[in-house]
Amino acid sequence: MTICGVAGIGHLGKALTRQLEKAGVQVHTYHPNIQRSNKFAQMFTNVKAVNFSTLLEQPVVLLSLPAEKIKDFLERAEREISANHESPIFVNLSTLVQTKELQNQFSTLNVYGMKMIGHADYLYANGDGVFLTETDLENEAFQKVRVLFEKVGSLYKDDEEVVKKINGLAVQRIIETCISFEEETKDFPAVYSKKAMDTIFPNTMRLFREGSFDGFMLKIIEDMKKK
């Protein structure tokens, strides 16, 4: 059985744990609060909560931690590994932390990067993730990581900064649209704009991606072209 550790129980940690478990991977999860870690593990069928030392015994440890926590985590891991363990492979998943920086600072550890385009909630519900890494996919030392991520999505070799740019631009445009829409509908009851944002926004984006426009959308597109 394939085994890995997951450090972090937020949205991304939860999504990866669910999809890896569905793919038959034995996940050992870690959080510094053991009660929270146990509660998290109980959400799944074949997930085990472990302490820090046991986490470091796993062949691969996925770092689904807040960006500001990653260096502290690796500093602690470096101290413990130097005394007691052979280093596992650590995978930096943070969009905001450059893997090269971690590799330079923690040169005694095996650190790779894997960044996801998209949102963790989608990964949790659907799998089908899109992941980018700067590592050559044929790199022999990288194969344990590759096997894990190919179970939950597709891998591409590309610059890590691409993920930050794509995800950031998507969030920026959506926020701009929401702000503009709220401003333009401020004279209507709030329940109207809320319902439109909750239902029309996501479905319009889905239909646009699919190229499957309904009659109302086609009329709006026609009016936009006239303007």
Where are the chain's structural domains? 3-159, 164-226
User: Please, how many CA atoms are within 13 Å of residue 167, restricted to the half-sphere of its CB?
Assistant: 17
- Pick from 67, 4, 3, 55: which is nearest to 31 by CA? 55
Per-residue pLDDT of the chain (227 residues; tens, 9 = 90+): 799 999 999 999 999 999 999 999 999 999 999 999 999 999 999 899 999 999 999 999 999 999 999 999 999 999 998 766 678 999 999 999 999 999 999 999 999 999 999 999 999 999 999 999 999 999 999 999 999 999 999 999 999 999 999 999 999 999 999 999 999 999 999 999 999 999 999 988 888 888 888 788 888 888 878 87
- pLDDT value of position 83: 67
User: CATH code for 3-159?
Assistant: 3.40.50.720
- pLDDT value of position 85: 65
Q: Residue 8, class by beta-carbon neighbours within 10 Å (0-12 exposed, 13-18 middle, 19+ buried)?
A: buried
φ, ψ of residue 115 in degrees (nearest 5): -115, 140
- pLDDT value of position 9: 96
Handedness of CA 105, 108, 114, 119 (dihedral sign): negative
What are the residues facing 87 on neighbouring strands? none
- pLDDT value of position 13: 97
- pLDDT value of position 225: 85
- pLDDT value of position 205: 87
Q: Residue 49, class by beta-carbon neighbours within 10 Å (0-12 exposed, 13-18 middle, 19+ buried)?
A: buried
- pLDDT value of position 32: 94
Confidence (pTM): 0.90
- pLDDT value of position 84: 67
